[in-house]
Amino acid sequence: MTSLTVETEAKAEANVEEKKASVVRTVLRWVGTILGAAVVYFTLVSPDRLTQFSPAAFLRIPIEGLLLVALFLAVRGRMRTVVLAVAGVILGVLVIVRLFNLGFYTALSRPFDPILDWVLFGPAFGLVSSSVGRPAAIAVAVVLGLIVLSVPVVMTLALRRLGRLALRYRTATTRGTALLAAVWAICALFNLQAAQGLPVASDGATGTLGDQVALVRRDINDGQKFGAQAAVDAFRDVPGSQLLTGLRGKDVLFTFVESYGRNAVEDPQYAPQVNTTLDEGTRALAAKGFQARSAFLTSPITGGGSWMAHETLLSGLWVDNAQRSQTLLAGDRFTINGAFRRAGWHVAGIMPANDRDWPEGKFFQYHELYDSRNMGYKGPKFSYVPVPDQFTLAAYQRLERQPGHAPVFAEIPLVSSHAPWTPIPQMVGWDQVGDGTIYSSMSTDGDPPDVAWRTSEKIRTAYRNSIVYSLSSLISYINTYGDDNLVVVFLGDHQPSPIIVGDQASHDVPITIVAKDPKVLDRISGWGWQSGLRPDPKAPVWPMNAFRDKFLTAYA
């Protein structure tokens, strides 16, 4: 074989390899272009709620995309680079907002607030940490941080690739954009729907960003409005001698049952077992001479943010965001707690979920404030829950209701029904509660959170069981330790997340007043509340912030 032949064959092989490499580069460019187009298209048309995700939801035409193409083709030179850079940042922000919206709609049934909701990330991290472990929670936080940092860059790169393609096929791009704009206009004119109320003629990206701007404007204006509302208070200067005269000598217990919402007593997934607990409790308490009246309150929040429901009920103000909460706690609004203190009651707060100092508690004027560190509990945590409800109530009895005690007003959240709703302790004899070590073997019973959350059926069963346990603990406490001078007000703080009750659930929660002295319930006979521990669907519904004034008026 001559050297010329060898050289010719080598060149031929090199040409073949070059062609292969060229084909690979071409394929990779097109794959990158298709992926870039898919990312941009997904960003523009994706819904803000998980329940709206379906193949049909993506059969839409985003007007923002058409306008971006038209603007890019209309400008020249460096302005095209500027347009793509600005659009990349905007689309990056849109992706981040939609990710947050997905999370907030799933957990709290509302959109993300760009000013006020940052304070919720700490509690969210704590919940994830208690459910799946701190390392996994840190990993989730790191991944989210990387997404937030990288998304604007990825969007800009994707737009640059698409921009080069649009210029290469300028005529086809112009005609295609014009055609799609005409189709968009026709679909908008006839209001054609793709799926679940999502229009084919989409302007969802503009709507999402516009909603965020509207929330910012609302937050800026709301502070002054809320301050003006807080300043109007008919009870602020009422002397203690005129307050709560209808409850003199009574031990009054206000109990918030975590995630105890209207669906718990009406949804067929939960109601049979929950209502059995309530109805059997009604009969058992009636046998001891107790009577009850029940209705519904509309909570300002759903899915989480329990403290805002507590503040709403006790202050008579509608507290539905962090700004209002901070404003309230920084002021001197007269609360139900303050009324009992002014009227001569010993005021106690028993907060089993708190594991650190809580200076904000001064606002509620407690004489004594107990938390998971000083209640005497030596048992295990139950995922998020530091102290089981039965122990919390036993601690209340031991710490505040010993023989010869002065009348006490106590506020107690029962948190065993807090997400993730598993594992759940079992009821034990009240004489066996002790220091809580009896619960040691129970903290590993049942599915751990990471298993229970794998299917909707398991987590809904866990939710139902947790509500049954919390209510059983409270009913059993009244049945065991209740006397002529015990008055119990118990209610839900909010509905659970949409994962449990769906997107369309109301914000209503049951509320009940239990007493043995008939004069206590006679005071509220005009309220129209129903007998028993369970309100039926026709029971009255009040906004939660209306309760303070009605309660103080009824017992004044």
**Max mean pLDDT range (29-33, 110-114, 332-336, 449-453):** 332-336
**Cα gap 351→197, rounded to integer Å:** 43
Confidence at residue 131, expressed as pLDDT on a 0 to 100 scale: 63
Confidence at residue 325, expressed as pLDDT on a 0 to 100 scale: 94
- Are 325 and 306 in contact by the 8 Å Cβ rule? The answer is no
Q: Is the pLDDT of residue 1 over 70?
A: no
Confidence at residue 146, expressed as pLDDT on a 0 to 100 scale: 81
Q: Is the pLDDT of residue 27 over 80?
A: no
Q: What are the distances in angstroms from CA 46 to CA 39, 55, 58, 185? A: 10, 10, 7, 20
Section 305-312 average pLDDT: 95
- CATH fold for the domain made of 236-528: Alkaline Phosphatase, subunit A (3.40.720)
Section 452-480 average pLDDT: 95
Peptide bond into 535 cis (omega under 30): no
Tell me the torsion sign for CA atoms 29, 31, 37, 39.
Answer: negative
User: What are the residue ranges spanned by the domains of the chain?
Assistant: 3-216, 236-528
Instruction: Give pLDDT tens digits for 367-395.
Output: 999 999 999 999 999 988 999 999 999 99
Three-state SS for 12?
A: helix
Q: 313's torsion region: left (phi>0), alpha (psi -120 to 50) or beta?
A: alpha
Q: Is the pLDDT of residue 32 over 80?
A: no
Confidence at residue 20, expressed as pLDDT on a 0 to 100 scale: 67
Tell me which of 75-89, 123-137, 245-259, 451-465 is least confident: 123-137
Q: Is the pLDDT of residue 228 over 70?
A: yes
Confidence at residue 277, expressed as pLDDT on a 0 to 100 scale: 98
Confidence at residue 9, expressed as pLDDT on a 0 to 100 scale: 63
H-assigned helices in 494-546 = 498-501, 518-522
Tokens of 548: 């303070």
Section 307-314 average pLDDT: 97
Provide DSSP, 208-267: HHHHHHHHHHHHHHHHHHHHHHHH--TTTT--GGGSSGGGTT-EEEEEEETT--THHHHS
* Residue among 544, 32, 551, 533 at smallest CA distance from 264: 533
Q: What is the dihedral of CA 387, 392, 398, 399, to 10 degrees?
A: 90
Confidence at residue 77, expressed as pLDDT on a 0 to 100 scale: 85
Instruction: Give pLDDT tens digits for 313-338.
Output: 999 999 999 999 999 999 999 999 99
**289: enclosing H helix or E strand:** none
